[in-house]
Amino acid sequence: MHQGRTTLSKFLIQQLKGSPEQNDLAALLVDIAAAVKAISAMTAKGELGGVLGSLDSTNVQGETQKKLDVMSNTAFINTFSMGGLVAGLASEENDDPVEIDPQDGTGRFLAIFDPLDGSSNIDVNVSVGSIFSVLRAPQGRSPTTEDFLRPGRQQLAAGYAIYGPSTMFVLTVGKGTHGFTLDREVGNFILTHPHMEVPAETSEFAINASNERFWEPPVQRYVTECKNGKTDVRGRDFNMRWIASMVADIHRILMRGGVFMYPRDTKDKSKPGRLRLMYEANPMSFVIEQAGGIGSTGRHRIMDLQPSEIHQRVPVIIGSRNEVERIERYHLEYDRGEDEQYKSPLFQERSLFAS
């Protein structure tokens, strides 16, 4: 019955044959898939597993931790600690990077992850996910925080798991983006979505519109034009979707196109965005770019940013190429003062430049 099906292991052996580093990377991705299976089983039990609800603790972001946040974090940390392939890890749920005891092996990788993304959705039984990113570890010494602070273009692998009606594992090692579906009876991930591609054209956008008054003018311009649909410059009607679970929103975009935005806003002036560079924006950009899309802040390619801290936040505009390029152009026109309707303060009368 299962003849001819490509399992995750078989796929990775084919994609990553060659150097010892590639072999180890394949083994690490199989380890990550094992943690994902454990988290999938926990989330699927829901209330029956006694895993819903919050704890009294908060993470470094000041967010209340859900029971499943902590359980998923433990599942990843145990997997990495026992696997002998990882020298250090950084997680949304840990304030600082954690070094794996060298006695457990001198791993050649650093793992960065969000163990359970979109966790506000857990208690209402809406899709959540895990996101991961893999970097090369320094050899011959213990990793430092600086070793983690590398631009996203240096990622060796990245991906996510989505715990939805089915559990899927989507990954890239820089050779396209590929999706696997968990066959629960057998316990294997099966290649079901090889070479995923984000359509360049789309009529769907995803943004938390309740923040509209806090957005920068270029984003307001883009969303207004989409909402105006046929009656305005876009000449066609758009749909809006917002799941409030980045994994689920990005997964939809990977499957049928669209643009996901969590842009810079002025809601909390101390934060240049809501989403985190190292374990949300970078891995998702790698996945989307390997599928033909773009990951941008609106002004810069996300994967070219030099990180300054593990939990750094960035504006995120990811998805279909034509739409992201249009939004980047709107930022450029705004910054240059070329946009008549939405002029940058730098170019208005009595601005810095005029005075």
Backbone angles phi, psi at 7, to 5 degrees: -80, 165
Q: Which is nearer to ligand F6P, 100 or 243 (CB)?
A: 243
Q: Does 245 bind ligand F6P (CB under 6 A)?
A: yes
Residues 256-295 that bind ligand F6P (CB under 6 A): 274-275
- Residue 73 makes CB contacts below 8 A (sequence gap 6+) with 91, 92, 93, 94, 115, 116
Q: Residue 235: CA atoms inside 13 Å, Cβ hemisphere, count?
A: 0
Q: Which is nearer to ligand F6P, 14 or 239 (CB)?
A: 239
Coil vs helix vs strand at 189: strand
- Cα gap 248→163, rounded to integer Å: 9
Q: Which is nearer to ligand F6P, 75 or 275 (CB)?
A: 275
Stretch that binds ligand F6P, among 74-82, 134-142, 242-250, 288-296 (CB under 6 A): 242-250
Dihedral sign, Cα of residue 2, residue 5, residue 8, residue 9:
positive
Residue from 122, 198, 246, 314 binding ligand F6P (CB under 6 A) = 246
- Tokens found for residue 218: 């270029």
- Cα gap 88→92, rounded to integer Å: 14
Q: Are β-strands 294-296 and 167-172 bridged in parallel, bridged antiparallel, or unpaired? A: unpaired
User: Residue count at the site for ligand F6P (CB under 6 A)?
Assistant: 8
CB of 185 to ligand F6P, least distance (A): 30
**Interface mask (CB under 6 A) for ligand F6P, residues 161-200, using x and -?**
----------------------------------------
CB of 289 to ligand F6P, least distance (A): 19
Q: Which is nearer to ligand F6P, 208 or 322 (CB)?
A: 208
Q: Does 9 bind ligand F6P (CB under 6 A)?
A: no
Residues 61-120 that bind ligand F6P (CB under 6 A): 117-118
Q: Are β-strands 109-117 and 98-99 bridged in parallel, bridged antiparallel, or unpaired? A: unpaired
CB of 130 to ligand F6P, least distance (A): 11
Residue from 9, 208, 224, 322 binding ligand F6P (CB under 6 A) = 208
* Residue 285 and residue 97 in contact, taking contact as beta carbons nearer than 8 Å: no
Q: Which is nearer to ligand F6P, 7 or 91 (CB)?
A: 91
- Cα gap 169→30, rounded to integer Å: 11
- Residue 311 makes CB contacts below 8 A (sequence gap 6+) with 60, 61, 92, 276, 278
- Cα gap 171→15, rounded to integer Å: 12
Q: Which is nearer to ligand F6P, 15 or 91 (CB)?
A: 91
Stretch that binds ligand F6P, among 31-39, 71-79, 104-112, 238-246 (CB under 6 A): 238-246
CB of 114 to ligand F6P, least distance (A): 8
Q: Which is nearer to ligand F6P, 313 or 321 (CB)?
A: 313
Which residues of this protein are in contact with ligand F6P, per CB under 6 A?
Answer: 117-118, 208, 244-246, 274-275
